[in-house]
Amino acid sequence: MLNHFISRRAFKVWFAIAIALVSMAGLFSGGGAALAEDASRYELPLSTEDIDNFEDFNSKLPLSEASLERLEMNGFVVMKDPFSPNREDITAPYKLLKRLEVPIFVTSDTLLHVYHIQFDETLMEIEEEHFYGDLWTISEMMLSKSEADYRASSGEAKEAAKMNVAFFSVALSLLSPTADQLCPGSGRECDERSYEGGYPYFKPEELEERRFLVPALVKEEVDAELALIEGQSGFAKSPIFGYDEDYSQYRARGHYTRSERLKNYFKAMIWYGRMGFLLKGCDGGCIVSEEEAKVHTLAASMIARNLLGDPESKELWDRIYNVTSFYVGYSDDLGPREYSDTIDSLFDEDVSARALSDSDLALLRAELARKRSPKIYGGTGVDSPACAAEPPFSPEEADLCLAATSGLRFMGQRFVPDSYIFQNLVIPKVGGYFGEGDAFTLGPYGRHFPRGLDLMAILGSERADEILKALNDSSYQNYSSQKAELRLEFDIFSEEEWQKNLYWSWLYSMMPLLEAPDPNSPAFMETTAWQDKELTTALASWAELRHDTILYAKQSYTLKAISLPPEEPEPVAGYVEPVPEVYGRLLDLARMNREGLEEAGLLDDSSRSRLVSFETILSRLEEISRKELDGEELTEEDVEFINDFGERLNGAVEGVDDESKKTTIVADVHTDPNTGLVLEEGVGYVRLVAVAYDLPGGRVLLAAGPVFSYYEFKQPMDDRLTDEAWREMLADSPPAEPEWAASSAEWLSYSILEAPPDERDVAEAGEVEEKLVEEEEIKAVSGQGAEIRLEDFEVRIGWNLLRGWYADCTITLRNSGDAEGTANVILEDGDGKLLKELEIKVPSNSAVTEKAEVDISGGSREVNSKLVE
């Protein structure tokens, strides 16, 4: 199912067959390469007396009592930067630590962030310097052809051509600069050379060059459409298309707030990406009527023939679509090429779309309907009979809604795996809630919101699974089966398939962070707290990916300062986070980025230089981290490379302005129309991590390095956050940090996921005060020594002549206790009426799955389960 969207086409990318590891002649400390078996490793808990440089480290980076507690328990601790608590540049701490003569810990967070800079800067440069102008030219040409179609047509074809005139007029209006987008100052204030990172305004001459007047023919509906787009207030009926559109999506976000040109490009591309000429129509159960669908299909056919029949327009459209597909992937919607190719296959190749008869249109629509339907629901027609239903929703209703949104999108938004995962882990694919309390994901009718943890669990993180369960975010009917199906889909992908485009390859690069560490990794990497830290790293990097691709990635919807000495210090033996697989995959990704853009002729010299420098850094880090895992002593050159890491990074960020280096960015990734809320993923201020690491010979040292902070929260959909608004929120009233961050963050109290050390033994015995009542209830229903909980509950509702309305239920119970127990489970309908009571024996330390059929013909079509005394 997914394979179609990642392997239709691929850019040619040449990867190095192997990376040669060259032996260095002079070894630091003169000892020669140590054998792996000679390497020793400290054990946890760790005493600060065992750390050789603890007193020196603590005098320069003082550790609080909470920090020491976590350091001794886990071998590492995450701290706020004492010199700059609100630091936004992740590369800056390396130079500070070097001047302080604190051993440097090179973090994967840094490298993932530096790749974000490469990705975002190259994409932004191409959009501003090339694609804005290309899109203007295409839109002008398509408008001219649409006006010609209007003059040459009659009847429904004339109506369709008018629709196209309005469609392209909206895009040109959005691209056209306005007077308030010129520099408001004068003289030196508006000198282009005084702006770091590019001139953010339109120039006066562009105001005339890009002036656009809406044709009188469509002025009323275009003006009404533009008012809704500028209002950005949520769902409303489109005056041109006749169905509901989410106008809050037109608020420029991500890097598109950086210049007026990018703001206009964003709005026009959102228009081209979201608005669909729908294929299916009917009176009652569709998004548009049968007559409207005929006009939509005629209009789409005209667009396809006009675009593909004009070499210049086609070449420019192909350049935008193919290069953005190299970054993000291909659309799951039908496009101009599919429409034109289908017309060619059914009719004479020279046929004009204007000349298609009613019978031709019926044949064309039937053939197009056999092609793929969208896999991600983008909010089209949210209040239509096809996509709005009374709860409980069914998966079949979701599929019908997706099919109803099928049609042509001029530059469709792209299929991305995380949105696909989210779509399949919210209602109606996932059923009713059976957990306790208010889970983050819970809405009025079930699981309305996904979590970033869902993505990480599908990509292989067992810890993400554990956290979802602990927070009741997986306590929904069918969640486990849906997750299992998704894992099967993703597990079959080969390395080649993961590297079809930059978006998928970025996800692939972070996946090793979610896996069990190498057996030779230092002790701190084998703790649960480090798994939590790596989850934060992966989630923050994913948030940056969604930020950078917010225009193109199809979003899922639920149905409805310090004084330092000037002298240069001697090198101090530092440490590289030993995740060579991450560095190797990032190296492949950076090369893919550079070579793909070189082939397209879209890579400028500064971007090429940054990428080449980044590739060199990654190659060295892969080499050094493998030495660390093999227990080899680092060479003098290796030690100097780590110590000078701040300077090494200069080449990878050369010419990048301070704004582009900031970690404090945000992206909305999912919309729930039922609550009017969106899911926001944010990256916060840079933190420091202190880690205890081994050196060959048995010494233990403390090193420090920068790491991400990460946030996940909900926000009103009509107030989707820009980076600027997010920074204000961070400074004034930041949302809560995720529960799992407390296991390593010294400034956070321990969460429900992990009890503090002095309560750990008690908690493991099940005697924490808050859990006493729950413990007694468990014993009452399951017997002394048994600990039974409801792990999963699935319901399949059906109807036939013999049985009427019925539900087949699957109940999974898990007993984590040391004795067999018996659980009493009751099944109720949505009104609380008892349907069936079950007694299920569950052996110790095992799970049992039982099936039960219940008659639901006399009440609501809903079944809930309860574990009772």
Q: Is residue 812 part of a domain?
A: yes
Share of the chain above pLDDT 90, in %: 72
Closest CA to 419 of 507, 481, 492: 507
- Asked whether residue 774 carries a pLDDT value surpassing 50, the answer given is no
Please check whether residue 152 lies inside any domain of the structure. Answer: yes
Q: What pLDDT does residue 818 have?
A: 83
User: What's the pLDDT tens digit per position in 722-737?
Assistant: 999 999 999 999 999 9
At residue 429, the pLDDT reads 92
Looking at residues 163-180, what average pLDDT do you find?
Answer: 98
Q: Is the pLDDT of residue 16 over 60?
A: no
399 with 547, same domain: the answer is no
What phi and psi values does residue 383 have, to the nearest 5 degrees?
A: -100, 10
Token reading at 393: 């929703």
Buried b (16+ CB within 10 A) or exposed e, 50-63: ebebbebbbeebeb
197 φ, ψ to 5°?
85, 15
Q: Are residues 659 and 607 both part of a single domain?
A: yes
Residue 759 pLDDT grade (very low, low, confident, very high; cuts 50, 70, 90)? very low
- Say whether 819 sits in a helix, a strand or coil: coil
33 — pLDDT class (breaks 50, 70, 90): very low
- The phi, psi pair for 826, rounded to 5°, reads -115, 145
Extract the tokens encoding 626: 């493998």
Query: Does pLDDT of 766 surpass 70?
Result: no
Average pLDDT, the chain: 87
Can you tell me the distance from the alpha carbon of 733 to that of 169, in angstroms, rounded to the nearest whole number?
41
Which of 363, 395, 414 delimits the end of a domain? 414
Pairing between β-strand 575-576 and β-strand 105-106 as defined by DSSP bridges: parallel
The set of residues, in sequence order, having a beta carbon less than 8 Å from that of 144 and lying 6+ positions away, is: none
State the Cα–Cα distance between residues 75 and 526, nearest whole angstrom.
10
In a shared domain, residues 55 and 144? no
Residue 550 structure tokens: 């917010």
Is 706 contained in some domain? yes
Any domain includes 207: no
* Cα angle value 542/543/549 (rounded, 5°): 90
165 torsion bin: left (phi>0), alpha (psi -120 to 50), beta (else): alpha
Cis preceding-peptide flag for 428 (omega within 30 of 0): yes
* Nearest CA-CA partner of 5 in 419, 510, 307: 419
Residues 379 and 274 in one domain: yes
Q: What SS3 class is residue 287? A: coil
Each residue's pLDDT tens digit, 209-259: 999 999 999 999 999 999 999 999 999 999 999 999 999 999 999 999 999
Closest CA to 163 of 432, 408, 416: 408
- The 3-state secondary structure of 464-500 reads HHHHHHHCCCCCECCHHHHHHHHHHHHHCCCHHHHCC
**281 and 143 Cβ atoms separated by less than 8 Å:** no
Residue 434: per-residue pLDDT: 93
Q: How far apart are CA 546 and CA 541, in angstroms?
A: 9
Q: What is the number of domains present in the chain? A: 3
Instruction: Give the pLDDT band (50/70/90) at residue 450.
Output: very high
The set of residues, in sequence order, having a beta carbon less than 8 Å from that of 372 and lying 6+ positions away, is: 4, 332, 334
Residues sharing a CB contact under 8 Å with residue 581, sequence separation 6 or more, in sequence order: 512
- SS3 assignment, position 84: coil
* Last residue of one domain, picked from the residues 392, 414, 436: 414
Do 156 and 8 sit in the same domain of this protein? no
Any idea which of 161-175, 816-830, 853-867 has the lowest mean pLDDT? Answer: 853-867
pLDDT band for 383, please (50, 70, 90 cuts). Answer: confident
Asked if pLDDT for residue 671 goes beyond 50, the answer is yes
pLDDT score of 517 = 95
Sequence-distant (6+) residues with CB within 8 A of 49 are none
Residue 800 pLDDT grade (very low, low, confident, very high; cuts 50, 70, 90): low
**691 & 784 share domain:** no
Looking at the structure, tell me whether residues 164 and 298 fall in a common domain: yes
Q: How far apart are the first and last CA of the chain?
A: 44
Residues 144 and 69 in one domain: no
What is the pLDDT confidence band of residue 398, given thresholds at 50, 70 and 90? confident
pLDDT value at residue 761: 39
The whole-angstrom separation of Cα 663 and Cα 90 is: 7
Residues 57, 171, single domain; the answer is: no
* 156, part of any domain: yes
Residue 851 sits in a domain whose CATH number is 2.60.40
Specify the DSSP class assigned to residue 428.
T
pLDDT band for position 754 (cuts 50, 70, 90): low
Instruction: Decide if pLDDT at 8 tops 80.
Output: no
CA distance 258 to 201: 9
**What per-residue confidence (pLDDT) applies to 392?**
65
Select from 350, 379, 414 the last residue of a domain.
414
Kindly report, residue by residue over 610-620, the tens digit of the pLDDT. Answer: 999 999 999 99
Residue 427 covered by a domain = no
With respect to residue 472, please indicate whether it lies within any of the assigned structural domains.
no
- For 295, counting Cβ atoms within 10 Å of its Cβ (0-12 exposed, 13-18 middle, 19+ buried), the class is buried
Question: How far is residue 739 CA from its own chain's centroid?
Answer: 19
Instruction: Please give the backbone phi and psi of residue 145, each rounded to the nearest 5 degrees, phi first.
Output: -70, -35
User: In this predicted structure, what is the pLDDT of residue 393?
Assistant: 65
Which residue would you say has higher pLDDT here, 28 or 110? 110
Q: Which residue has the tokens 């290309």?
A: 134
For residue 458, being part of any structural domain is answered with no
Contacts of 496 (CB under 8 A, 6+ apart): none
38-47, 110-119, 266-275: least confidently modelled range: 38-47
Residues 517 and 619 in one domain: yes
Instruction: Give the residue among 565, 533, 542, 486 at the shortest CA–CA distance from 689.
Output: 533
Of 22-36, 456-470, 502-516, 741-755, the least confident: 22-36
CB 705 within 8 A of CB 97: yes
Range of the domain at 173: 128-178+235-414
Q: Which two tokens stand for residue 304?
A: 């396809």
Q: Which residues pair with 259 in a beta bridge?
A: none
**Cβ contact 222:166 at 8 Å:** yes
Q: Let me know whether 355 and 504 are in one domain.
A: no
Per the DSSP assignment, residues forming a β-bridge with 235 are: 246
Q: Are residues 133 and 26 in the same domain?
A: no
Confidence at residue 570, expressed as pLDDT on a 0 to 100 scale? 53
